Amino acid sequence: MNKEKNFQGYLHDKGLKSTRQRDDIASYFLQQDKHFTVEELYNEIKKSDPQIGYATVYRTLKLLVDAELAVECQFSDGLTRFEPVHKGKHHDHLICLKCGKIIEFENDKIEQLQLEVAREQNFELTNHKCVLYGYCSRCKE
Amino acid sequence: MNKEKNFQGYLHDKGLKSTRQRDDIASYFLQQDKHFTVEELYNEIKKSDPQIGYATVYRTLKLLVDAELAVECQFSDGLTRFEPVHKGKHHDHLICLKCGKIIEFENDKIEQLQLEVAREQNFELTNHKCVLYGYCSRCKE
DNA sequence: AACGAAATTGATATTCATTATCAATATGAG
DNA sequence: CTCATATTGATAATGAATATCAATTTCGTT
């Protein structure tokens, strides 16, 4: 696995240690293609490691974010969600205010325009978040 | 003041009462053109009403959001910020990761593309948030 | 292979933003 | 003016995220 190698490399570069818990969490998380709240991920990991601690999940996710293998997403329910970074492509979110459904989308033109805005303001862009709220096809009656 | 009338109308329509505290908070807030954390607004209101309660500020902001006279913004520092809605125009944010500076920008093309994305997914859009993170002209060395 | 300094874990306590509670008070329709 | 009802504000409660710390694990070095 490429990403897992990246994680191992990250740990090594930072003088951090590879542990069973960290590796299990990172391995599971990086293979997924969806959002996780900390609780959701904690519950998944717990299935194969009932001893895992909540704090360890938090800490490992923080490392993954720092390693740029994960990003944080704040929607509007007060929970922080994490999702694995799929190299090269970035996606944004469309959220249904009624059923909570989350749809991901990519739009290169929007990305381009954002770069342009940053350039106008003389900003060096590192990342961005774009969230659209509304009602999905089923919930808008 | 137009917006204050809207707020009075909102209260009336909902069967809520107009109170000195509510009116003072709404009046002050709606005349501003910037973000407030709850604490910031609380401190401002306290200058003219030292008895004001923290909870009342929270409650009034919630009403303003429900009345669509304010919007919540979640950046990445765990604090919720509120800003008055300036009818017709919407703006997004550019945030410096080092100094915390917040720049507002408007970009009609981005807005248009977002509408297009929503249409493709058959979503009925109500609002959206777009936040760009990076380093401002001074902080990128 | 074993040692040992340093990092990690996980249970628990703590912090801090936000929300709920509730007795006292204020509002406004009739 | 009255009175049912909403509101206020002090305080307690909630809940997500972080800090603490003793016990354990890791890994570079012997």
The listed range with the strongest mean pLDDT (A12-16, A73-77, A89-93) is: A12-16
B interface mutation test: which of A132, A140, A141 has the most B CBs within 10 A?
A: A132
3 state SS of B99: coil
Whole-angstrom Cα distance, residue A126 to residue A118? 10
Whole-angstrom Cα distance, residue B110 to residue B107? 6
CA of A66 to C1' of D12 (A): 37
Query: Nearest nucleotide by C1' from A55 CA?
Result: C10
Task: Please determine, for residue A141, whether its predicted confidence score (pLDDT) is greater than 80.
Answer: no
Per residue in B68-90, pLDDT (tens digit) is: 999 998 887 888 999 999 876 78
**Could you check: is the Cβ of residue A78 within 7 Å of any atom of nucleic acid strand D?**
yes
Task: Please determine, for residue A3, whether its predicted confidence score (pLDDT) is greater than 70.
Answer: no
A interface mutation test: which of B124, B126, B127, B137 has the most A CBs within 10 A?
A: B124
Question: Closest residue by Cα to the C1' atom of nucleotide C25?
Answer: B19
Domain ranges of chain B: 2-84, 92-134
A123/B135 touch (CB, cutoff 8 Å), yes or no: yes
Whole-angstrom Cα distance, residue B53 to residue B39? 11
The two beta strands, B92-96 and B124-135, are parallel
Query: Which of B109, B128, B133 lies nearest to residue A131, judging by beta carbons?
Result: B128
Whole-angstrom Cα distance, residue B95 to residue A74? 15
The DSSP letter of residue B50 is T
Residue B26 pLDDT class (50, 70, 90 cuts): very high
B124/A134 touch (CB, cutoff 8 Å), yes or no: yes
Name B36's Cβ contacts closer than 8 Å, sequence gap at least 6. Answer: B29, B44, B81, B82, B83
| Longest CA pairwise span in chain A (Å) | 55
Per residue in B82-125, pLDDT (tens digit) is: 999 987 678 899 999 888 888 999 999 999 999 999 999 999 99
Provide the whole-model pTM.
0.82
Task: Please determine, for residue B15, whether its predicted confidence score (pLDDT) is greater than 70.
Answer: yes
Phi-psi region of B122 (alpha: psi -120 to 50; beta: other; left: phi over 0): left
Q: According to the CATH classification, is domain A92-134 in 3.30.300.180?
A: no
B130/A128 touch (CB, cutoff 8 Å), yes or no: yes
Which amino acid does the sequence have at A84?
Answer: P
Say what the pLDDT of residue B3 is.
Answer: 67
Average of per-residue pLDDT values in chain B: 91
The two beta strands, A124-135 and B36-37, are unpaired
Give the mean model confidence (pLDDT) for residues A85-105: 85
SS (H, E, C) chain A: CHHHHHHHHHHHHCCCCCCHHHHHHHHHHHHCCCCEEHHHHHHHHHHHCCCCCHHHHHHHHHHHHHCCCEEEEECCCCCEEEEECCCCCCCEEEEECCCCCEEEECCHHHHHHHHHHHHHCCCEEEEEEEEEEEECCCCCC
Domain B2-84 is in which class?
mainly alpha
Among chain B residues, CA nearest to A104: B121
* Cα dihedral B28/B34/B36/B42 (nearest 10): -20
Round the CA-based radius of gyration of chain B to a whole number and report it. 17
Give the mean model confidence (pLDDT) for residues A42-55: 96
